Amino acid sequence: MKDKTFLMIPGPTPVPERVLLEIAKHPMGHRSGEFSKILESVYSDLKHIFQTSNDVLMYTASGTGAMDAAISNLVNPGDKVLSLVIGNFGQRWAKIAAAYGADVEVIEVEAGKAIAPQVLKDRLEKDTNKEIKIVTLTQNETSTGVTNDVKTLVSYIKEHGALSIVDGVTSIGAMECKMDEWGIDVLISGSQKGFMIPPGLSFLAASERAWAVHKECKRPDFYFNWSTNKKSVLENSTAFTPAVNLICGLKVALEMMKEEGLDNIIARHTKIAKALRKALKAINLQLFVEDEAIASTSITSVLPPEGVSVPDIRKVLKNDYDIVVANGQNKLKDKIFRMGTLGFVSERDAITAVGALEATLHKLGHKFELGKGVATLITELNK
């Protein structure tokens, strides 16, 4: 049905009406006192969501822009960077570091697995000359639906003395991520995920240690330069003309997040994702990430049942039920489909999704007890 599309992909995620209407207003002057007040409130709320006392820089760019900003403001050619790769977005850190002349070492695990903290610990202990300057990692790997134990991994990186750079794109505002308490040095995220607004803004916060390393960076990118951008944050301004309308929408979204409360938001994501996993199993679907301990609470990857193809599932879900789920990426294309329950997603949305998925699989001839998915979901949600 036209204009009925509901996104259940890892991003963009659904945007609240209140936010959309704010974005639809005529742009205001980005150098006006009125807009400066909006920035003041946004900058302050971002610190709360990032769980940090560090200033949060805001870029008019997608999440990859903030990833670029993280690397290009710290790395000098020849610097040793260790990239922990559990999927495509972990791989992106390695690509960016290499593009900026870093000597990149990769620790990679097969898709669907997380980094075993001990593996990192051993590698860092071997680095007695402290050659490793930076370790990049992903909290929630969007391409597989696996979550790393950032708290433990970062503690080992701190022990070693390297800087930790964490991709929080599909984790912040969905799962626990305590920048200061855990000692994360650089944390980035994007707007079209837990922040419930359309794509176009990304965020970066850096620790004092990271700022000190930045000062030694010979050639930071101009547009993404931390120092230029921070100066503007301190003035409740932006270095360059920002995406004014998206920022006005972000202000409203951040207010909604405060109203619900960060802990409640995280609890909601956890509850819905765990119930969804049980529901999917109840209709004889196999989960790509079986280990509950590392399964994402914002993205759930699912294997298609035997004899049913991922493209068919996605097509029927979209055409007959107006729900968009994501295909797998690269090697996982057509091997899995990914259901996002990230951001502005309610229990009702989960019921809708499981119901529509049951209808879809029923049409496609998959054998299961019709209704059992929804029944299981409702039971789990009300436990």
Residue pair 154/183 in contact (Cβ under 8 Å)? The answer is yes
| Angle, vertex CA 103, rays to CA 161 and CA 172, nearest 5 | 60
Long-range (24+ apart) CB contacts under 8 A made by 25-33 are: 25/245, 25/248, 27/244, 27/245, 28/244, 28/248, 30/238, 30/241, 30/242, 30/244, 31/237
Closest CA to 186 of 162, 222, 219: 162
Q: Does 241 bind a copy of itself (CB under 8 A)?
A: yes
For β-strands 323-327 and 6-8, DSSP reports them as: parallel
| Angle, vertex CA 173, rays to CA 63 and CA 62, nearest 5 | 10
Q: Does 222 bind a copy of itself (CB under 8 A)?
A: yes
Part in contact with a copy of itself (CB under 8 A); list of ranges 144-152, 181-189, 206-214, 234-242 = 234-242
> Residue 179 or residue 326: which is nearer to a copy of itself going by CB?
326
One of 44, 53, 101, 319 touching a copy of itself (CB under 8 A): 101
Q: Does 7 bind a copy of itself (CB under 8 A)?
A: yes
Closest distance between a copy of itself and the C-beta of residue 94, in Å?
A: 12
Residue pair 142/89 in contact (Cβ under 8 Å)? The answer is yes
One of 51, 62, 143, 171 touching a copy of itself (CB under 8 A): 62
Closest distance between a copy of itself and the C-beta of residue 147, in Å?
A: 20
Token code pair at residue 238: 């932006």
> Residue 51 or residue 360: which is nearer to a copy of itself going by CB?
360
For β-strands 146-147 and 163-167, DSSP reports them as: unpaired
- Within 12-41, which residues bind a copy of itself (CB under 8 A)? 12, 14-15, 20-21, 23-32
One of 38, 50, 51, 63 touching a copy of itself (CB under 8 A): 63
Residue pair 57/203 in contact (Cβ under 8 Å)? The answer is yes
Part in contact with a copy of itself (CB under 8 A); list of ranges 44-52, 97-105, 179-187, 280-288 = 97-105
> Residue 271 or residue 335: which is nearer to a copy of itself going by CB?
335
Token code pair at residue 266: 């995280």
Q: Which residues bind a copy of itself (CB under 8 A)?
A: 5, 7, 9, 11-12, 14-15, 20-21, 23-32, 59-65, 67-68, 71-72, 95-96, 99-101, 190, 192, 198-200, 219-225, 239-246, 324, 326
